[in-house]
Structure 1
């Protein structure tokens, strides 16, 4: 795999080398990088991933890839070394970033749903542990379990063991998602709501919190005071 230095594609890379971009960026950025790679006679693959560093170490990432067909067999062993699945979405590199943003939209929508559901439970006296049990039975998923238990424990600040996905990074990704929706004529009302809650958390000084902290905004709107306040 080539270095991800942003100047790599314009610094006379070795022809025939392979550049693998794992960034979550707007699709047109990927298109531009692919064009530069072609001009430099470099193979180019977009390969964003779903998952945090701990999942990479455990070989549990979900890897999305798209780009030059000839480069894919060379890169796949590296992708498989950190991922439980490698999903090939075609030859157009930008489609990998469309896929990543679409997946992140789904995750953000789930987080919003969980935050609202837990607030509804709190307001009506249902113990959070019972809601967690219900969610686990209805939606058996490691991602959903992780976020619902995090919210139930009011565990929003990052730790060395669980650095989380920071609010500031989520703002960047939601911005890309909303921009893509607007450009393609696809209304995304849930993303708009999530963006508002992320901005609220950033304004409260929680830019480095995990994005599950949007639950605090949902609770605030319902008149529930955050435990840290």
Structure 2
């Protein structure tokens, strides 16, 4: 299958992909799917593609991945040192900025102790605050022939499993060429090139997430309004299906309506709060108010507070809360049971004066 229509640049010349070793650090919901698809689908795009080397702080996730696809497709690195010294391209997908800083500090320690003489590219796919990219670049670029590109991805875990992610890239042109050829169509369906400024791809990702978060906030308010007025959530789901048939919108509406708040199969509320904080920080810097995001941030905090109370009481139904539980905040504000609809008071319609 030709990738020309989905790639903004041609295949990089003079790159021996059959001897290019790729590593993957971070196997969360999205990272696991990305690493798995890169290891299994990469060979379809690149004959004799070497096994992908994987590393994760929780070793069991790496073991699960290898068990699923086989040792001929993926191998586990015992240490960060092994993956940095062995691999030419290291893809990173981590939960938050603090973890990213820690891991890159470890990368730099390895690079300092093990000088190399070939090109090495770090691919930062985590959703982090844009300014952090500059700090990471300063850390990485002091080492010869070592480069950083930012490549956050757009798409839910379901899209990641289907290799339907959109890859947003910023950084050095040649490095982007190499990574794009590696990851499309094996990991994603399309690349958006945001130029050389590493911060732009990360800013674009937060713009996209602001739209998803804003949509979820409005959806939560509508479902709560429908419930409080006696219309019912099913009517709202029918409305979404008939008038707004966007897959992500329908999926989040279904999660909210049926309390499918298991974050292990979606996007954790901690990640949602982190992204909302990044968006609000950026809008402050640019003097660009986004009041819907302010309210959404408050409702995410409310949802997490109620969830933690349930956990402390031993009543939580899931280990990790999905960010679709934002509806908890709107329900609490409307006097309904936040996470348990059995707590709902009898619906009372107020007669208009």
Give the match for residue 90 of structure 2.
2
CA RMSD for the aligned pairs?
A: 1.9
1:63 match: 167
| Worse-matched range after superposition: 13-22 or 79-88 | 13-22
C-alpha separation between the residues in 1 aligned to 2:283 and 2:261?
28
Deviates more, 1:93-102 or 1:35-44: 35-44
Structure of greater Rg: 2
Q: Between 32-41 and 83-92, report the one with greater CA deviation.
A: 32-41
Change (3 A) 1:141 1:185: same
- How many Å separate the matches in 2 of 1:120 and 1:136? 18
Which stretch shows the higher mean deviation, 83-92 or 107-116? 83-92
Which residue number in structure 2 is paired with residue 141 of structure 1?
246
Kept in 1: contact 2:263–2:269 (CA 8 A): no
Is 2:249 aligned against 1:131? no
Q: Is this contact kept in 1: 2:91–2:125, CA < 8 A?
A: no
Output the CA distance in 2 between the equivalents of 1:101 and 1:121. 30
Return the alpha-carbon distance in structure 1 between the equivalents of residues 135 and 107 of structure 2: 13
TM-score normalised by the chain length of structure 1: 0.90
Q: For residues 98 and 228 of structure 1, do their structure 2 counterparts lie closer, same or farther at Cα, with a shift above 3 Å needed?
A: farther
Contact 1:79 1:86 (8 Å CA) reproduced: no
- Partner residue, 2:320: 208
Q: Does 1:25 align with 2:124?
A: no
What does residue 110 of structure 2 align with?
Answer: 11
d(CA) in 2 for partners of 1:194, 1:84: 30
Deviation at 1:10, TM superposition (A): 5.0
- Equivalence for 1:178: 280
Within the candidate set 220, 228, 233, 1:115 is matched to 220
Q: Which has the higher relative contact order, 1 or 2, with Cα contacts under 8 A spaced 6 or more apart?
A: 1
Count of equivalent residues: 226
- Once the two structures are superposed, the pairs formed by residues 38-117 of structure 1 within 5 Å of their partners are 38-40=141-143, 41-80=145-184, 81-117=186-222
**1:168 to partner: Cα distance:** 1.2
Q: What stretches of structure 1 of length at least 5 have no aligned partner?
A: none
Change (3 A) 1:10 1:60: same
User: Which residue of structure 2 lines up, in the alignment, with residue 223 of structure 1?
Assistant: 335
Calculate the TM-score normalised by the size of structure 2: 0.60
User: 1:3–1:156: structure 2 CA closer, same or farther, 3 Å change rule?
Assistant: closer
- Runs of 4+ residues over 6 Å off in structure 1: none
SS at match of 2:169: strand
